[in-house]
Amino acid sequence: MARIAYDDEAAAAFEATRHIPDQGLAAWRAAVTRHLDPRPGARVLDLGAGTGRWAAAFTDWYDDLDVIAVEPSAAMRARCVHPRVLPGDAANIPLPDHSVDAAWLSTVIHHVPDLAAAARELRRVVRGGGPVLIRSAFAGRHEAITLFRFFPEAIRVLDTFPSVADVAATFGACGFAVTAFDQIPQTTASSLSECATRLRREAHTPLQLITDDEYAAGLARLHRAARSEHGPVIDALDLLVLR
């Protein structure tokens, strides 16, 4: 069970508001290029691919990269912009042993109920030495994410997510070692005003799990700040690489 239901409403909100345009992802593109080794013919698993934004970007960024998306929610799969998407989850990856060169998990790890089972499955499907790239907001690491400035109560939700140490230890028990840990910036919106206008609570797990009053107060703070603060909204999420 994910922390929130990725039903039709959440999937529609995610599709409408969480696709960052390519120009906002330059640093992510560089980081993925550095760690994923996206050579022609390589096969990459996008686990918990959602609406397929990253699978589609990788296909666009790299020649002849074979990207397979796996996603448990039928509503997300129905909106997936990447054609090769299979039902499955982190504990049941519908792929043969040693069948992919790398795996990508973007803002998924906190939804995985059994991290050890996920680590075992990734060990099984990723060919020896291949990287697992985990893009996430980890517990204790809210500082570089704008929404937490306006919705500080959401930090208590973030702090229930796995920490970097939790993930490193659980994956370590399956033979993975951390080879990189970087904070990667992205342009999330062109302005705070755009951010405020487009925000959909259903698209953000930490916002769904605070109270309605906390959400209303945060939204008011965000709209107030948007009247006087201009310029792009730059956030940074973490990239944890294990091999």
Ligand X SMILES: C[S@@+](CC[C@H](N)C(=O)[O-])C[C@H]1O[C@@H](n2cnc3c(N)ncnc32)[C@H](O)[C@@H]1O
Q: Does 107 bind ligand X (CB under 6 A)?
A: yes
Q: How far is the CB of 40 from ligand X (least distance, A)?
A: 24
Beta bridge partners of 45: 68, 103
With tokens 């997936």, the residue in question is: 80
Torsion, Cα 149 167 99 129, to 10 degrees, reads 110
Per-residue tokens: 203: 């698209």
| 148, 208 Cβ separation under 8 angstroms | no
Stretch that binds ligand X, among 78-86, 101-109, 158-166, 210-218 (CB under 6 A): 101-109
Nearer to ligand X, 54 or 215 (CB): 54
Q: Does 28 bind ligand X (CB under 6 A)?
A: no
Q: Does 73 bind ligand X (CB under 6 A)?
A: yes
Nearer to ligand X, 32 or 47 (CB): 47
Nearer to ligand X, 22 or 229 (CB): 22
| 161, 206 Cβ separation under 8 angstroms | no
* DSSP per position, 225-236: HHHH--S-EEEE
Can you tell me the distance from the alpha carbon of 23 to that of 109, in angstroms, rounded to the nearest whole number? 25
Of 123, 125, 120, 80, the residue nearest 99 (C-alpha): 125
Q: Does 58 bind ligand X (CB under 6 A)?
A: no
| 50, 71 Cβ separation under 8 angstroms | yes
Single residue of 44, 65, 76, 184 touching ligand X by CB under 6 A: 76
Q: How far is the CB of 45 from ligand X (least distance, A)?
A: 11
Q: How far is the CB of 53 from ligand X (least distance, A)?
A: 5
* DSSP per position, 98-136: T-BSEEEEES-GGG-S-HHHHHHHHHHHB-TT--EEEEE
Of 35, 18, 73, 12, the residue nearest 188 (C-alpha): 18
| 193, 233 Cβ separation under 8 angstroms | no
Chain residues 126-185 in contact with ligand X, contact rule CB under 6 A: none
Q: How far is the CB of 25 from ligand X (least distance, A)?
A: 11
Q: How far is the CB of 116 from ligand X (least distance, A)?
A: 13
Stretch that binds ligand X, among 108-116, 162-170, 173-181, 194-202 (CB under 6 A): 108-116
Single residue of 68, 108, 189, 210 touching ligand X by CB under 6 A: 108
Stretch that binds ligand X, among 30-38, 107-115, 121-129, 157-165 (CB under 6 A): 107-115
Q: Does 79 bind ligand X (CB under 6 A)?
A: no
Give residues in contact with ligand X (CB under 6 A): 2, 6, 47-50, 53-54, 71-73, 76, 89-90, 106-108, 111-112
